[in-house]
Amino acid sequence: MSLRQKKLEITKKEKKNLFIISALAVFEEKGFNNTRVKDITKKAKTSVGNFYNYFKSKEEVLEVIMSGIAELMISKFRELFIYFKDNRIPPISAVKKLFRGYAKMFKEKKETFLIFFEQMGGMDQKYRTKRNEIMDNFTDEVEKIIIKLLEYGARIQNPKISARVWTSTVLGVFIWWIRSNFELDEEELVNNLTAFLVRGTMTV
Amino acid sequence: MSLRQKKLEITKKEKKNLFIISALAVFEEKGFNNTRVKDITKKAKTSVGNFYNYFKSKEEVLEVIMSGIAELMISKFRELFIYFKDNRIPPISAVKKLFRGYAKMFKEKKETFLIFFEQMGGMDQKYRTKRNEIMDNFTDEVEKIIIKLLEYGARIQNPKISARVWTSTVLGVFIWWIRSNFELDEEELVNNLTAFLVRGTMTV
Amino acid sequence: MSLRQKKLEITKKEKKNLFIISALAVFEEKGFNNTRVKDITKKAKTSVGNFYNYFKSKEEVLEVIMSGIAELMISKFRELFIYFKDNRIPPISAVKKLFRGYAKMFKEKKETFLIFFEQMGGMDQKYRTKRNEIMDNFTDEVEKIIIKLLEYGARIQNPKISARVWTSTVLGVFIWWIRSNFELDEEELVNNLTAFLVRGTMTV
Amino acid sequence: MSLRQKKLEITKKEKKNLFIISALAVFEEKGFNNTRVKDITKKAKTSVGNFYNYFKSKEEVLEVIMSGIAELMISKFRELFIYFKDNRIPPISAVKKLFRGYAKMFKEKKETFLIFFEQMGGMDQKYRTKRNEIMDNFTDEVEKIIIKLLEYGARIQNPKISARVWTSTVLGVFIWWIRSNFELDEEELVNNLTAFLVRGTMTV
DNA sequence: AATGAATGAGTGTTCATTCAT
DNA sequence: CATGAATGAACACTCATTCAT
């Protein structure tokens, strides 16, 4: 690949990204179904036709966004799960660190998460299935935390249910936090969530 | 009003209900945006035109459904909150009774709740706002439980956040339960949820 | 035909007439195309279905109305043309008498005439043709006046054109009179119209 | 604005005009209400969707046409009224010149005028009101002729009525002329009309 | 690559007419 | 005769996608 080609490649990627960012903003405002391709291109300050030089359909943008989410949620998790492996960090602190990492991520990608959690269900079967898959995968990962916690306390709950509770709680609370425009102090939120989930899961 | 008119009135209400039930089933399957009025009338075994004798638009059915949900969630809550006022019932039992009541309701109205939680966000601003209002109202009610619980234990959490945690957890878990086709045993779900939330909220 | 049958016949005719009157009122207000059968039956205080016991279509009412107009215009003309045959009445007075008769008729049947002149053209080919036929027939009759007048003065105009001028003028002015809600005094209108048309047609 | 943009601008105006011309032809044939947007685009050899790149509704084409008419009638009048101001031209000749100008205009814009006079009444309240306004404005202008004529003869008529008579007569006769497919010789029509109206209005 | 006019299948809604009661 | 719910064909308008420039 020549230097010239590489440059073009980069510009192309940047342009594609611009479309994604524009799409996210509009989807968030109007919802996927009520967003016109023209709305996206207007925000990206280009023409409708040009959009189709980068994506083969309106749905494709969404798919790109969604794949990003799926990957992000899992990779972030793995990145943060490392704290649980470090025996010098008590598990509660590890949970806190994990939640702090997630809080940061939600803050940065708020539109993406809003679309994922609020809108994806309203699309069609295909997306609902995809969404549930992503949630299930995430719940599987979360189960690892539960198991780690159990090494420190007596289990009293079905770990599957616990994991589901964690997922529902964390995501539900973070989404509410986004919607409230991050009104509540991040540290307070993280502390409460940690205390709540850890205490709910463990017993003395 | 004559007897004949009364009868007609009843039939009309039943017919309207049939449309609502049919609409619910199709919305759940295809999503609101991908549902054609024809799909609804086909399921109701009648003609497209006739639909418009009962509703002035496709959106109106949704609005009727949504108003029903809002009312149902709150009225059910008030009906079940009575247990907290009876001093002979320990609060944990009261919570369990409440969850049992909700489990029953979610089971009966599963399509309605799926549409409410999964699809309403994907529609437009109007519906998102409405959904958030309903959730906020519900959270306000839930706060009453938290306050009741606090009479029995030491508060360690912001009750607003606690209420939000309860709402997110309960709804998230029940929706998952619906989607899993009620795989998990109801009693186990109720017990786990209760233990989790009560323990998470209270401290000895 | 038995007495009972005769009575029924009468009631039927009256009912039909009620529909026609109601239709006229609504057509005049909303225009034929924007009138719903329901509007007509509402005004007639009966049900949609019942309308079809008397007319086989919405168009049929219009046709009945139009036939009435055609007949009325010509029969009125013949009734009033009698003055021209009475040699004791000077032609100018005869014209005045004719216009007075027409003024009365337009006043009584204002809705009918408004529909005929203002709306019939906007319907389809069929009605435009019908309307033109009616106008042409009427113009043919009017030519008889021109000819009578010519016996009293020198002709300077093509009598076909004169007749057309008379028709256009008389109908145009009367329609304007109806629309202005008969603001102008009837006698003044008749006098002016007469002076105008007679003088325009005749020469000393 | 670049050269390219200017060219596009011109093409766009031409295209819009093509739609108007096509619409006129179809409206005239089928009537506004019986014209399908598809009929218009078929005549313009383009697609339904494209129509909506130029007009926001079927009604808008009509409105554009109507505004054109209103303007045309008045501007033509003002253009031709100049003859009345030139004292070397006798008023009868001025009237003739004016009618000649109108005859030409009616010939060129026959579809437009047919739609205006024959169909506009059958639409709804809005259009009837608009039509009457246009007619009233025109009648106001016509009154100026009457007043000019009065400088040459004795007034015997209410000038308001006279103006209305002129409007009704001229328009009625010209419309009939259009419908008869311009059978009658233009010069004869103009002469007759002039003689008729001038003589009807003036007195020795 | 960029533009925006052109395409046309698709959908909510209306309403004349029918029909069971 | 009367009622008004039921029918379904018809139509205005939308918008993702294509294509000529």
Which CATH number fits the domain that encloses residue C9? 1.10.10.60
Q: What pLDDT, on the 0 to 100 scale, is given for residue B5?
A: 63
Residue C14 sits at the vertex; the CA angle it makes with C10 and C16, to the nearest 5 degrees, is 115
Q: B195 and A200 in contact by Cβ < 8 A?
A: yes
Nearest to A200 among B114, B164, B196 (CB): B196
- In this complex, do D172 and C172 lie within 8 Å of one another by their Cβ atoms? yes
**For position B38, what pLDDT does the model report?**
98
Count CB neighbours of C136 within 10 A. 13
Report which of residues B200 and B44 the model is more confident about. B44
Average pLDDT, chain D: 90
Q: Is the pLDDT of residue B152 over 90?
A: no
Would you say residue D79 has pLDDT above 90?
A: yes
**Cross-chain residue pair C165–D168, CB shorter than 8 Å:** no
Calculate the angstrom distance between C1' of E2 and CA of A112. 28
Predicted pLDDT of residue C121 = 79
Residue in the structure block whose two tokens are 């031209």: D89
Question: CB–CB of D133/D66 below 8 Å?
Answer: no
pLDDT of residue B4: 60
C93 shares a domain with C175: yes
**Distance, Å, D37 CA → F21 C1':** 28
In this structure, the answer to whether residues D50 and D68 fall within a common structural domain is no
| Closest nt to residue C49, judged CA to C1' | F3
Using the predicted structure, report yes or no on whether residue D39 has a pLDDT greater than 90. Answer: yes
Q: Report D:163-182 residues touching C (Cβ under 8 A).
A: 164-165, 167-169, 171-173, 176, 179
Q: Which residue is nearest to nucleotide F19 (CA to C1')?
A: A49
C6 and C49: one domain?
yes
Could you tell me which of D98, D96, D199, D97 has the C-alpha nearest to residue D157? D199
Per-residue tokens: A175? 């989404």
Instruction: Specify whether B49 is located in the same domain as B72.
Output: no
Q: Which residue has the higher pLDDT, B204 or C143?
A: C143
How far apart CA D188 and CA A199 sit, in angstroms, is 105
Query: Stated in angstroms, how far is B50 CA from F9 C1'?
Result: 14
Q: Do C200 and D203 lie within an 8 Å CB cutoff?
A: no
- B33 and B125 belong to one structural domain: no
Residues D157 and C195 sit within 8 Å (Cβ to Cβ): yes
Contact across the interface for D172 and C168, Cβ inside 8 Å: yes
User: In this structure, are A189 and A123 located in the same domain?
Assistant: yes
The answer on A47 and A142 residing in a single domain is: no
How far is it, in rounded angstroms, from Cα B153 to Cα C203? 115
Closest CA to A200 of B171, B149, B202: B202
Contact with chain C for residue D187, Cβ under 8 A: no
Return the half-sphere exposure (C-beta side, CA atoms, 13 A cut-off) of residue D202: 19
Rounded Cα gap, residues B59 and D115, in angstroms: 38
In a shared domain, residues D51 and D66: no
Rounded to whole angstroms, the distance from the CA of residue D115 to the C1' of nucleotide E10 is 32
Domain boundaries, position B50: 1-55
What single string gives the DSSP state of each residue in C153-202? S---S-HHHHHHHHHHHHHHHHHHHHHTTS-S-HHHHHHHHHHHHHHHH-
Question: What does the H/E/C string look like for chain A?
Answer: CCHHHHHHHHHHHHHHHHHHHHHHHHHHHHCCCCCCHHHHHHHCCCCHHHHCCCCCCHHHHHHHHHHHHHHHHHHHHHHHHHHHHCCCCCHHHHHHHHHHHHHHHHHHCHHHHHHHHHHHHHCCHHHHHHHHHHHHHHHHHHHHHHHHHHCCCCCCCCHHHHHHHHHHHHHHHHHHHHHCCCCCCHHHHHHHHHHHHHHHHCCC
Residue D62, pLDDT score: 95
D47 touches strand E (CB under 7 A): yes
In a 3-state reduction of DSSP, which class is residue A2?
A: coil
Closest partner residue to B169 (CB to CB) among A31, A32, A169 is A169
**The predicted structure's pLDDT at residue C17:** 95
CA of C20 to C1' of F1 (A): 18
How many CB atoms are located within 10 Å of the residue D168 CB?
22
Domain containing C121 — which CATH number? 1.10.357.10
Residue A186 CB neighbours (<10 A): 15
Residue B37, CB, less than 7 Å from strand E?
yes
Q: How many structural domains is chain A composed of?
A: 2
Note whether A50 and A126 are same-domain residues: no
Measured CA distances, B51 to B31, B43, B47, B60, D138 (Å)? 19, 12, 7, 11, 49
Average confidence (pLDDT) over A75-95: 92
For A75, A109, A138, A179, C82, the CA distances from A68, given in Å and listed in that order, are 10, 11, 14, 21, 94
Looking at the fold, whether D133 and D179 belong to one and the same domain comes out as yes
pLDDT of res. D7: 67
pLDDT of res. A154: 62
- Name the protein residue, with chain letter, whose CA is nearest the C1' of F18: A49
Closest residue (CA to C1') to nucleotide F2 in the complex: C50
Interchain proximity A171–B171, CB inside 8 Å: no
pLDDT of residue B65: 94
**Same domain flag for A110 and A191:** yes
Same domain, D29 and D109: no
Q: Kindly determine whether residue C33 and residue D29, on different chains, have CB atoms separated by under 8 Å.
A: no
Indicate the SS3 state at residue B140: helix
Residue closest to sugar C1' of F10 by CA: D36
Quick: pLDDT tens for A31-66: 999 999 999 999 999 999 999 999 999 999 999 999
**Amino acid at position B73, single letter:** M
- For residue C157, which residues of chain D lie inside 8 Å, CB to CB? 192, 195-196
Q: Check pLDDT > 70 for residue D6.
A: no
Give distance CA A57 / C1' F16 (Å): 8
Whether chain A has a CB inside 8 Å of the CB on B46: the answer is no
Q: At which residue do the structure tokens 């009033």 appear?
A: C80
With touching defined as 3+ CB pairs under 8 A, do chains B and A touch?
yes
Instruction: Note the strand E nucleotides within 7 A of protein beta carbons.
Output: 1-20
- The pair of structure tokens assigned to C130 is 């019908």
A86 pLDDT band, cuts 50/70/90, is confident
Top-confidence residue, B5 or D36: D36
